[in-house]
Amino acid sequence: MTRRRTLWIALAAMAGAGMRIDAAGPPLDPRRIVDLTYTLGPDTPYWPGGKYHPFKSEAIATLDADGVYSRAYCTPEHLGTHLDAPNHFEKGQIAIDQIPLADLMAPAVVLDISEKAAKDADALLTLEQLRAWEARHGQVPKGSIVLLRTGWGRRAADAVSYRNMDPEGRLHFPSFASDAATYLVGPREAKALGIDTLSIDAGISKDFPVHHVVNAAGRYGLENLANLEKLPATGAYLIVAPMKIGGGTGGQARVFALLP
């Protein structure tokens, strides 16, 4: 046997062994996972309108009195890091418990308008910017979850600054423009749109066009995502794990991003 043949045999054996180890090892490496979920509590920013209210919890048993510590809580479905189900803004669309598993796991694409949003709290990701992004990074892969990083995560600990309400009661925070959303759930077949602000529509919106576009297509939204600055533009993979509330219009979700 020549030395070269021996080398090839060794290479082939190493490659084969490597593949077997991959198949048998753990499918996920927790050290390569980013938690995109905020902790829920009484200070979690909530939507300032209608009958929305803060997250409330109370002890219903304590170790000292009952030998067990247990609590109960009340919350709007749309508070903290949460999912907007297709039935949130459109009739005839599915509830949160009916979203197929195949739509809760997908490659993530991260668009970044944080520089623009630092100068203009009403900044929108436009279709033109989206096309410029595609010219640089390639097409948004079909079936992705498209995340918009606005830099609003820096305000998340301060509900006043995060909502950014003006004296007339209008909110100011950045989001998707409706033409970009239409393009993403249309030709790009995005499974969901996600953002690091209170809403996939801009704060100043009164008619919520992005919610309508997304929900009318049977897709869902993710709001108040944490840690988007830790994700690459492409190559991450999301696991979205929402509360399975029967008929729910949305619900808190734990969202994990697997880094490439």
In the window 73-92, what residues touch a second copy (CB under 8 A)? 73-78, 81, 87-89, 91
When the beta carbons of 97 and 134 are compared against a second copy, the nearer one is: 97
The contacts of residue 140 (CB under 8 Å, 6+ apart) are 109, 130, 133, 134, 146, 184, 188, 190
Q: Please, what is the minimum distance in Å from the beta carbon of residue 249 to a second copy?
A: 5
In the window 112-151, what residues touch a second copy (CB under 8 A)? none
In the window 11-30, what residues touch a second copy (CB under 8 A)? 11-12, 15-16, 18-19, 22, 26-28, 30
How big is the chain, counted in residues? 260
Catalytic residue among 78, 82, 88, 211: 88
Contact letters for a second copy, residues 187-216 (x by CB under 8 A): ---------------------x--x-----
CA angle 80–85–86, rounded 5-degree value = 150
In the window 55-74, what residues touch a second copy (CB under 8 A)? 57, 60-61, 63, 66-74
Residue 115: how many other CB atoms lie within 10 Å: 9
C-alpha–C-alpha distance, residues 153 and 155, integer Å: 5
List the structure tokens of 157: 């600990």
- Look at residue 229 and give its three-state secondary structure: helix
When the beta carbons of 113 and 198 are compared against a second copy, the nearer one is: 198
In the window 93-112, what residues touch a second copy (CB under 8 A)? 97, 100-102, 104-107
Q: Please, what is the minimum distance in Å from the beta carbon of residue 110 to a second copy?
A: 17
CB-hemisphere CA count at 13 Å for 242? 32
Q: Which stretch binds a second copy (CB under 8 A): 1-9, 111-119, 125-133, 168-176?
A: 1-9
Catalytic residue flag (residue 88):
yes
> Cβ(254)–Cβ(38) under 8 Å?
no
> Is 246 an interacting residue with respect to a second copy (CB under 8 A)?
yes
- Of 164, 121, 127, nearest to 146 by C-alpha is 127
Q: Residues touching a second copy: how many (CB under 8 A)?
A: 75
Angle between helices 178-185 and 127-137 (to 10 degrees): 50
> Cβ(150)–Cβ(196) under 8 Å?
yes
Among 110, 193, 210, 256, binds a second copy (CB under 8 A): 256
> Is 157 an interacting residue with respect to a second copy (CB under 8 A)?
no
Q: Please, what is the minimum distance in Å from the beta carbon of residue 146 to a second copy?
A: 16
> Is 51 an interacting residue with respect to a second copy (CB under 8 A)?
yes
| Burial of 186: CB neighbours in 10 Å, binned 0-12, 13-18, 19+ | exposed
When the beta carbons of 57 and 128 are compared against a second copy, the nearer one is: 57
When the beta carbons of 73 and 120 are compared against a second copy, the nearer one is: 73
Active-site annotation, residues: 88
